[in-house]
Structure 1
Amino acid sequence: MTSHNRKWKEQQLESVKQLIGKYPIIAVADIRMFPAALFQQIRKKLHGKAVVKVSKTKVVRKALAETGNTAAIADFAQANCAVIFTGMNPFELFAFIKKNKGKVPAKVGAIAEEDISVPAGDTGLPPGPALSDLKAAGLKVAVQGASIAILEDKVVTKAGEAVSPAVAGTLSKLNILPFKVGMKVVAVLEGKDIFKADVLDIDTEKVFSDFMSAHRGAFNLAFNAAIANPATIEMLLAKTYRDAKATALEADILNSVTAGDLLVRAQRQAKEISSHVKDVIVPQEGA
C-alpha cells in the first residue's frame, strides 16, 4: 500500500502541476463505483492522447487551485475523481469517454436502464440447485442431456425495474453482464472556459444531421435567390447558360451555341413540310 506521507504528497502535487503546464485541456471525472479493471482499459485506450491521473483529492484540488487559470475547475474535483490531461477537443474527449463503457454484473436493487433478457439455449450448468434458481428467476427450463437448457427467451427485468436477488444470482450463473458503466466526465477546462457535462453531452449524429439539413436549406435559399457565392456559383452559371440558350433558341438567334440546334430544328421542319407536298411533274417543252 502506498504511504501517503508528506513527501509523497509533495511529489504528487508537483506531478499534477507539471501535467497542468503541459496540456491545454483538463477534465475532471467521477470514478465512483468504476471497476479498476475498466479504469485500466480506459487509460490504455487513451495512451498517446491523454494522461489520466488519480491522486488524493486534496492534492489534486491544491494543484489546480495554485496553477494558472485552473483554479476554476478545482471545485469539481471531489472524492474519488480522476483528472484527465489532454490536447483533445472537450467534446471529443467527452464523447470518447462516454462511448467506452464496460459491462458489469447486475447487483441486487440496481435499476435496469433497458430490458434485461436471457436467451434460450444450453446453459452448460449441470442439473441440481441451479435448476431451482433459474426457475425462481422466471425462466422456463428443462434438463437436456447433462445440462440445463433454457427453453425460450425471457425478459427477467424490465427497464426501470430493480433487479431481484433471484435474477441477480441467475445472471451471475449465466455470466450475463447486463449493466454498462463508465467514467463520468464532470467538467472540462479549456483556457478560461469550463464546459460542464450537460453542455458536452450532445448527440453527434443528430448534430451532424442538423448541420447537413441547415446547409441544404441555406444552399437552396441562396440558389433560388440567385445569390452568388463559392457554393452556388457553379450551378448558377450553369442555370444562366441554360436559360440564355433557351431564350436564344426561342427567338431564333443564330450564334455558335444555337447553330447546331437551330439547323436540326430547321431540318426537322423541312422534312415535316415535304411530307405534305405532292411531287409535281413539270411537262417538258415540245412534248
Structure 2
Amino acid sequence: NIPSKINKGQVEIQNDHLLLKKGDKVGQSEAALLSKLNIKPFTYGMVLKMVYDAGSIYTPEVLDMTDQDILNKFLNGLRNVAATGLSISFPTTAAVPHLVINAYKNILSIAVATEVTFKRAEK
C-alpha cells in the first residue's frame, strides 16, 4: 500500500516509499507500477569477475580509472618521449622545447665566459 492520490489526472505519491532494494528482482507487479509512474530503475550491463589480457588475469579494479589517472599516464608517457629524445639528441615534438632552452643556456654560458653581451643575455 503506497499512499497516493490523483492530482490533475496524474498519480501523485504522497510519501517516499521503498519499493525495491539494490539487487532485488523486479516482479510483475513492481514492473507494472513503475511503468505507470514512468520510472525506469534499470541499468543493464555486465558484472566482471576477472579480466584476461595477454595471458594474465586481473581483478576488475584495474579497469577503474578516472580521467585524472588517464591524464597522468599520458603525461608520464610524454615525459618518457621527451627524455628519450633528449638522451639520444633526437628532436621530437616533446623534446624540442628542452633542446631550445638547453641551447639558450649554452649560448648564455659562452656569452658570460667571453664577456660578449646581447639584449637577452643582459636580462
TM-score (norm 1): 0.28
Measured after TM superposition, the shift of residue 234 of structure 1 is 1.0
- Distance change in 2, residues 1:231/1:209 (3 Å): farther
Structure showing greater relative contact order (alpha-carbon pairs closer than 8 Å, 6 or more residues apart)? 1
Correspondence 1:171 to 2:34: yes
Question: How far apart, in 2, do the equivalents of 1:164 and 1:173 lie?
Answer: 14
- In the TM superposition, what are the counterparts of 1:179-258 in structure 2 within 5 Å? 179-181=42-44, 206=65, 212-221=71-80, 223=82, 226-227=86-87, 228-229=89-90, 230-251=92-113, 253-254=115-116, 258=117
- Distance change in 2, residues 1:242/1:152 (3 Å): farther
Measured after TM superposition, the shift of residue 244 of structure 1 is 1.4
Question: How far apart, in 2, do the equivalents of 1:260 and 1:161 lie?
Answer: 76
Identity within the alignment, %: 18
SS at match of 1:157: coil
* RMSD of aligned alpha carbons: 4.2
Question: How far apart, in 2, do the equivalents of 1:207 and 1:214 lie?
Answer: 11
Measured after TM superposition, the shift of residue 146 of structure 1 is 4.6
- Distance change in 2, residues 1:169/1:208 (3 Å): closer
Question: How far apart, in 1, do the equivalents of 2:81 and 2:7 lie?
Answer: 70
- Listed one character per residue, the Cα deviations across residues 4-53 of structure 1 (whole Å, up to 9, x for unaligned) are xxxxxxxxxxxxxxxxxxxxxxxxxxxxxxxxxxxxxxxxxxxxxxxxxx
- Indicate if the aligned counterparts of 2:5 and 2:12 stay in contact, CA closer than 8 A: yes
Report the residue type matching 1:243 in the other structure. K
- Indicate if the aligned counterparts of 1:141 and 1:149 stay in contact, CA closer than 8 A: yes
Measured after TM superposition, the shift of residue 221 of structure 1 is 4.1
Unaligned segments of structure 2, at least 5 residues? 54-61
- Distance change in 2, residues 1:159/1:246 (3 Å): farther
- Listed one character per residue, the Cα deviations across residues 103-140 of structure 1 (whole Å, up to 9, x for unaligned) are xxxxxxxxxxxxxxxxxxxxxxxxxxxxx5xx1xxxx4
Unaligned segments of structure 1, at least 5 residues? 1-131, 185-197, 266-287
- Indicate if the aligned counterparts of 2:6 and 2:12 stay in contact, CA closer than 8 A: yes
Larger Rg: 1
Higher strand share: 1
Correspondence 1:141 to 2:1: no
TM-score (norm 2): 0.52
SS at match of 1:179: coil
- In the TM superposition, what are the counterparts of 1:68-107 in structure 2 within 5 Å? none
Aligned with residue 118 of structure 2, among 235, 259, 270: 259
Measured after TM superposition, the shift of residue 165 of structure 1 is 5.2
